[in-house]
Structure 1
Amino acid sequence: MANAINIKRSQVASLMDQLRQNAAAEQKLSEKDEHEILEKLKVFGRTVSGSDAIYSSDGISLLSDVAFRGNTPEPSREALRCLANAMFLDRQTSQYFTDRGYVEKASEAYKVSESHDDEFLLGRILFFVTTYSQTNGLIIKCVNEHDLAKNTQAAISRHAVAYANAASTSRIISQMAGMALQETLKLLYTLTAKLEDLKAELFSPLVPDLLKILISISVPTASSLQPPIHHILDALSNIPLDTDSSKAALFPEDDPTKYLTRIVKVLDGAAQISSGPSSRSAQTDEFDDRGASLLKLLHDIYPIAPEPAQEFLRLSLLPTDTERNLPLGSRTSTTLPARLLRLSSSPSTTNTRTILSTLLFVVSDSDPGKFIQNVGYGHASGYLMMRGIPIPPEALEEAGVSDKQGRRINPVTGQFIEDEIKAMEASGIGGLDEMTEEEKEREAEKLFVLFERLNKTGVINVENPVRTAMQEGRFEEIHSDNEEDDEDEEGGGGGGGGNNSAEGKGKGKAKETTAKQA
């Protein structure tokens, strides 16, 4: 193994020497021969081991000289491929590239690139350089002196025209064009992240073009967060949308939900979850990996949207009354709101469940009472407690009416109480009317103990409803059938010691409290 690496190291060094000698001799090699050397170096450079001559500072400088020479397009493009591979495998090479002053040359080349191959390679190199840059000074210099932001805008505008034309004529965008767009979008996202104070001014004009591309791409019914869709959403989520131009683009006067319909369709395809006992699935993992930007985008859109667009989002993301025949988020429901609720509480969605709950809270107009009514206390309580948002006492009352028929809902599950009772009866579980007073008493005691334990853990700090009911006089004394006889025996027997016996204690415990029926 070591011998093979040494052989490879020698071959790579020899090829690099040929390039170096050729550069010093003003290109004695033919363009074809130079291209073949660079192709071999590209293959060798796919692994770092034994490719020392490529991954050194001098090696990166030599490849960069060839890449930006300008008069030999094929060797220059192959040198760009070598550089892109090197930066992908070893980020130190991007620092060598920066230190030798090649970022400015890459930005200038990106400006005039007309082929998708060049845009792909230059966009990829600039993405690595800007992502790994330790300071923003270099990026600001490229933006101010080499028009990097404007060049990125121009590239995306070209793609917007091409995608719109392809959609109208049913043409297929070439694979290379799609790959070039992806690298440009990744570069755009990095620029918006690094240029926080300037991104509204520099990148808001791109919103119409990004939306135009998004609506021109067919959305898969499942796993919809595929490139370039998720790259477009990443970019949109990082551009301020509250400018007049952005809002005008997002909400066309003739159809304010035009683009929201497409974004929600992407969410519908992305928000997949296993219907089995486990919530873990490949689709759930993909949603958790790529869905945060999509959720953040909707979170940012709702507050600035006109009422028709807000109403559309409420109807799309929140459960409707037709879903309340079951507990909200039931595993048997396949609607988008039900899947979102399950994802918001899934142990698999560590990256997205908080932003997903935040989105549902915002779409509930950031009103905790509406939030609980919309999704049920069971789904809302954890988020509200984590955020330190007080829970309105009235939100837990069963008197909440959700439709014109006046049907009551269970505030914890969000299910209609009448449907809940029917389900209990169908499963053989009796309701309060079928419970004896002793059974009611035991359930009340269990509830009391559970709330006391939860309060002691510090997880929640709420008033025990059983204690409250006792204080409000909603409990009554329950006497056993033999209680009067027991009292007569104790009073007439004259032997007070009966109260100290185990039997006496058991009889005395018969005098307890239980909840009145509502």
Structure 2
Amino acid sequence: MDLNDVLSKLDAGDEEEIERLVEQFNRENRRTFTFDPNQEDLRSKLCESLLTVLGRPLQPGCQSCCLETLRILSRDKRVLGPVATREGVLVLAGLAQLQDGDLRGDAPSEREERVVVEALKCLCNVVFNSAAAQQVGAEVQLARGLCARLRGARAGAARHEVGLFSLRLLFLLSALRPDVRGGLRRELHALALLTRVLEETLDVRWVGPYEAAAPGPGALAVPAEKNERAMEALKALFNLTLVDAGEEDGDHQLRLIAAIMRHLLMLKTQTEEKTEEAHSHAINLLSNLPVSCLDVLIDVPVQGGQQKYNGKNMAAVQVLLDFMEKRIDKGSNFKEGLTPILSLLTEGSRHHREIRRYIKTQVLPPLKEVKIRPEIGTTVRNKLVRLMTHVDMGVKQSAAEFLFVLCKESVDNLLKYTGYGNAAGLLVERNLLAGGRGDTKYSEDEDSDTEEYKSAKPFINPITGHVEEPMLNPLEEMTEEQKEYEAQKLIDMFDKFPRQFIQPMGVMKDGTLAPLDEALCQAAGDSSGSDSDE
């Protein structure tokens, strides 16, 4: 469509003509919209005209069409000047019904709800693409309106997309504006609010202080819409937990979040990919919580068929270990995909004895096979040892630190499982090349060495970490003549080596280095000259 034609009709047309015009624009550009650099000014004017039209009383159908056009245009951050103003953001906030805090008291019609959703989508695009809009959003307290909406959105009071894009906008504001993030925790108590949103979305039913009812064997997967809302709430919670915990949150609130994360780790969604995404967000959030809260993961009764260790429920810890191994097996994106779970398991093992002991039984069981290098094989230990020499420094350090903690930060134990060559990087960094332990104090465990390891220990190469096959003596099958011939070859090689590769040097009279023959000649000349003078 010709943008000049659209602009002229927007300014002069009636509501019916405007709706027909923008709907045609939307059909042509909904899927692909090409940003012509020569039309940047026209697109900016179109944004301004749309805001003017949206400021008038219109029917919901026309409003939603104009908002969709504005949303398409807002993908281009260069034309957001008119929208990223106080007036522009307030127009969108009014249409999203954020100034009143929630949807109107009576149930909105489907067309009215469409307006709210399109306005929220526009705000998400504009806030994401414009620093000026982020500033305005903080000033007009969009976050306060979003929290009021979420507090009122109980028992289906708001439809899926309204809740979804309200949470997404809250996530964007908390991610891009640290001041908004702090205000959400201190003044709006958004931590408790988002916790409640997660409880309702995931249908959490409490059967103990920090124990959610476990899903039964035939439990249905989390529906796609609920999973989408839960992911947005988790991302917003991650941002809020980046702020240091204060008295207004308290230990109870953080432990409640840890309990919900445990519940989430035990759930399945519609697809394996979505389940992995949900577990990834749960792991990121757990990493932000105080490590003391992680005991909530194991201090629940053991259900039938769940992993148990020393009376503790290790089902959630096993899910974390399985997640870690899947991320290793993917073989890519280790920095973003693997280091968070390694960090979480490391800190959990460092501060919780039962977690460390259980993980060690899974990752570093007592050694029996000592004839194969520790980095060769398909076990979790083999995979982690291979990562100790990864090219990415962060991945390399995370894997080494995890294994070091499982070994109670004992250099001798680490070398037993990994070999000196694989562990050298960590030992240099920790200044432990001479042996010893790290700074953390651990309880004493019983000797877990197998008989196979004890008998093979004197023959293990400490560098490679395995028993090497004895090298054959090449002289055993040689005759005396062959031995003499090889010995003479070796003598000849030693004789040629200095003359071919090492040239003796001497110091010349002017202090420079020169071949030894030249230096000696100069010295001899100086000596004869001095004799003749005498």
| Matched ranges for 1:404-443 at <5 A | 404-405=451-452, 406-408=455-457, 409-415=460-466, 417=467, 420-421=468-469, 430=473
Secondary structure at the residue paired with 1:54? coil
- CA deviations over 1:40-78 (Å, ceiling 9, x no partner): 211221222334322334322221122115334331221
Shift of residue 248, structure 1, vs aligned partner: 4.1
| Matched ranges for 1:291-302 at <5 A | 291-302=338-349
Counterpart check, 1:346 vs 2:390 = yes
Q: What amino acid maps onto 1:293 in structure 2?
A: P
CA distance in 2, matches of 1:219, 1:384: 45
Q: Residue in 1 aligned with 2:264? A: 213
| Matched ranges for 1:15-30 at <5 A | 15-20=50-55, 22=56, 28-30=57-59
Q: What amino acid maps onto 2:189 in structure 1?
A: D
Shift of residue 219, structure 1, vs aligned partner: 11
- CA deviations over 1:258-286 (Å, ceiling 9, x no partner): 111111111111112xxxxxxxxxx3332
Paired residue for 2:77, among 27, 48, 60?
A: 48
Paired residue for 1:336, among 380, 392, 414?
A: 380
CA distance in 2, matches of 1:220, 1:376: 40
Shift of residue 318, structure 1, vs aligned partner: 2.6
Q: Residue in 1 aligned with 2:405? A: 362
Shift of residue 314, structure 1, vs aligned partner: 0.9
Shift of residue 32, structure 1, vs aligned partner: 2.0
- Taking every aligned residue pair, what percent have the same amino acid on both sides? 18
CA distance in 1, matches of 2:474, 2:456: 18
| Matched ranges for 1:103-118 at <5 A | 103-113=143-153, 114=156, 115-118=159-162
Q: What amino acid maps onto 2:195 in structure 1?
A: Q
Paired residue for 2:49, among 4, 8, 14?
A: 14
CA 169–431 in structure 1, closer or farther in 2 if over 3 Å, else same: farther
Q: Residue in 2 aligned with 1:490? A: none
Q: Residue in 2 aligned with 1:186? A: 235
> Which shifted more, 173-182 or 231-240?
173-182
Q: Are 1:292 and 1:355, in contact at CA under 8 Å, matched by a contact in 2? A: yes
Counterpart check, 1:266 vs 2:323 = yes
Shift of residue 150, structure 1, vs aligned partner: 1.0
CA 50–314 in structure 1, closer or farther in 2 if over 3 Å, else same: same
Counterpart check, 1:63 vs 2:92 = yes
Q: Are 1:364 and 1:370, in contact at CA under 8 Å, matched by a contact in 2? A: yes
Counterpart check, 1:290 vs 2:290 = no
Q: RMSD across aligned C-alpha pairs, in angstroms?
A: 3.3
Counterpart check, 1:143 vs 2:198 = no
Q: Residue in 1 aligned with 2:364? A: 318
CA 75–101 in structure 1, closer or farther in 2 if over 3 Å, else same: same
| Matched ranges for 1:98-247 at <5 A | 98-113=138-153, 114=156, 115-135=159-179, 138-161=180-203, 169-197=218-246, 201=251, 202-217=253-268, 226-243=276-293, 246-247=294-295
Q: Residue in 2 aligned with 1:498? A: none
CA distance in 2, matches of 1:374, 1:219: 39
CA distance in 2, matches of 1:390, 1:43: 59
Secondary structure at the residue paired with 2:77? coil
Shift of residue 214, structure 1, vs aligned partner: 0.9
- CA deviations over 1:88-140 (Å, ceiling 9, x no partner): 223442221001222211222122234432332122222222222244xx444
- CA deviations over 1:270-315 (Å, ceiling 9, x no partner): 112xxxxxxxxxx3332222222211111121134344x4332112
Q: What amino acid maps onto 1:109 in structure 2?
A: R
CA distance in 2, matches of 1:373, 1:167: 42
CA 260–219 in structure 1, closer or farther in 2 if over 3 Å, else same: farther
Return the TM-score normalized by structure 2: 0.67
Shift of residue 234, structure 1, vs aligned partner: 0.2
Q: Are 2:223 and 2:270, in contact at CA under 8 Å, matched by a contact in 1? A: no
> Which shifted more, 195-204 or 70-79?
195-204
Q: What amino acid maps onto 2:91 in structure 1?
A: L
Q: Are 1:302 and 1:363, in contact at CA under 8 Å, matched by a contact in 2? A: yes
> Which shifted more, 359-368 or 103-112?
103-112
CA distance in 1, matches of 2:384, 2:275: 16
Return the TM-score normalized by structure 1: 0.69
Q: What amino acid maps onto 1:247 in structure 2?
A: D
Q: What amino acid maps onto 2:363 in structure 1?
A: L
CA 248–172 in structure 1, closer or farther in 2 if over 3 Å, else same: closer
Q: Are 2:412 and 2:435, in contact at CA under 8 Å, matched by a contact in 1? A: yes
Unpaired runs of at least 5, structure 2: 1-35, 105-111, 206-212, 303-307, 438-446, 491-534
Counterpart check, 1:252 vs 2:300 = yes
CA distance in 1, matches of 2:278, 2:394: 21
Q: What amino acid maps onto 1:379 in structure 2?
A: N
CA 224–3 in structure 1, closer or farther in 2 if over 3 Å, else same: closer
Shift of residue 320, structure 1, vs aligned partner: 5.0
CA 393–129 in structure 1, closer or farther in 2 if over 3 Å, else same: closer
CA distance in 2, matches of 1:193, 1:303: 21
CA 134–366 in structure 1, closer or farther in 2 if over 3 Å, else same: same
CA distance in 2, matches of 1:197, 1:433: 76
CA 345–108 in structure 1, closer or farther in 2 if over 3 Å, else same: same
CA 266–402 in structure 1, closer or farther in 2 if over 3 Å, else same: same
CA distance in 2, matches of 1:327, 1:387: 24
CA 350–218 in structure 1, closer or farther in 2 if over 3 Å, else same: farther
Shift of residue 15, structure 1, vs aligned partner: 1.2
Paired residue total: 401
Shift of residue 141, structure 1, vs aligned partner: 3.6
CA distance in 2, matches of 1:89, 1:410: 58
Secondary structure at the residue paired with 1:285? coil
Q: Residue in 1 aligned with 2:136? A: 96
CA distance in 1, matches of 2:274, 2:373: 28
Shift of residue 434, structure 1, vs aligned partner: 9.8
Secondary structure at the residue paired with 1:46? coil
CA 219–389 in structure 1, closer or farther in 2 if over 3 Å, else same: farther
Q: Are 1:225 and 1:266, in contact at CA under 8 Å, matched by a contact in 2? A: no
Unpaired runs of at least 5, structure 1: 23-27, 273-282, 395-399, 443-518
- CA deviations over 1:470-516 (Å, ceiling 9, x no partner): xxxxxxxxxxxxxxxxxxxxxxxxxxxxxxxxxxxxxxxxxxxxxxx
